[in-house]
Amino acid sequence: MKLDVSKEIIFSTSRSGGKGGQNVNKVETKVEGRWHIQSSLLITEEQSIVIQSKLSNRINKDSFLIIKSQEDRTQLGNKEIVIIKMNELINNCLIKKKSRIATKTPKSVIENRLNTKRITSYIKQNRKKVQKGDY
């Protein structure tokens, strides 16, 4: 299930550094997207708890998920980047990891391991110096 939270994102703009030359000082191209997790109608309460626990470093104390972008030279381009990043973050959080199923070690693997141990033991036994009474 893919979520699209673009309708619930609140956008704000500011002046950004980087590419743009003299245009940087005049135009507000940096975009900051805020999405309020608790008041969202798109997710359940369980999903909001999961998102808040996994993305706690990106969520402020008012429970807003904040994403910023100033990569593009245009405001529209940065807005699209914010939407894409936010949707990816949220959808990746909601994917459940598969639980590992414990399996038993096959008998053939155990036998092979024991055989190699016997062989290396035999090789090391033959490396020893021969003493007077051994032969």
Answer yes or no: are the C-beta atoms of 68 and 31 closer than 8 Å.
Answer: yes
pTM score above 0.85:
no
Quick check: helix, strand or coil at residue 33?
A: strand
Q: What is the pLDDT of residue 18?
A: 65
pLDDT at 129 over 90: no
Burial letters 79-103, b for 16+ CB under 10 A, else e? bebbbeebbebbeebbeeeeeeeee
CATH code for the part of the protein at 10-93: 3.30.160.20
| Residue pLDDT, tens place only, 48-88 | 899 888 988 988 989 899 999 988 888 899 999 999 999 99
